[in-house]
Amino acid sequence: MRTILLLMGPHGCGKTTVADALHRQGAAIRLRQYTTRPKRDGENDEYSFVAGVQTDALWRYTKAGSEYGFSRSELDNLPDGSVGVVAVHTEAIDDLRHSPTDVNLVTVGLDTLANHNDQLSRVNKIEGRVQSVEAFEESRQVAKSRDICLSGDLAFVLSELKRIIKQQGEMAKDL
């Protein structure tokens, strides 16, 4: 069985940074969501940028008029017995109940921002990434209610996730 770690939390909490680090260190395979929104200046390859509604979406949600989601074809690239990691917006949480049965989804909340001002400084006040105080607090509550919630610096979060990934690999071998 394949496992996907879904990293969730407010904008700027480190979801993409953590996912990229786990991939670079060989701990997990980096998976990408797709989006129909235009690519921002200087944006990396966090998303697959697509046009129109995706028919093979395992889950999808709309945010600021654009569709975000995760496609079956992205999952199909994940080998059996492996662990993938993907950064998702907390808005995806309501749609995850429609996820496939052939994958173990583990939701991981990242509660790494002390307050809304911390969030503002981490996203450099980039339009589309700044959250209102209310949206920040709501995202933070979603993060805290996940299967696993991690707080702390990057080194601690990575260490804990590597431990979790190792456990998932051992569980997959036992199946």
Model pLDDT for residues 121-151, shown as the tens digit of each residue: 888 877 777 888 998 999 999 999 999 999 9
pLDDT confidence of residue 169: 72
Strand order in the sheet with 2-8: 29-30, 83-87, 2-8, 103-110, 148-150
pLDDT confidence of residue 99: 65
Nearest to 167 by CA among 110, 99, 108, 87: 108
The answer to whether residue 46 scores a pLDDT higher than 60 is yes
pTM: 0.87
Model pLDDT for residues 8-34, shown as the tens digit of each residue: 999 899 999 999 999 999 999 999 888
CA angle in degrees (0–180, nearest 5) for 80-52-139: 70
CATH number for the segment(s) 2-30+81-174: 3.40.50.300
What residue ranges do the domains of the chain occupy? 2-30+81-174
pLDDT confidence of residue 9: 93
Span 94-104, average pLDDT: 71
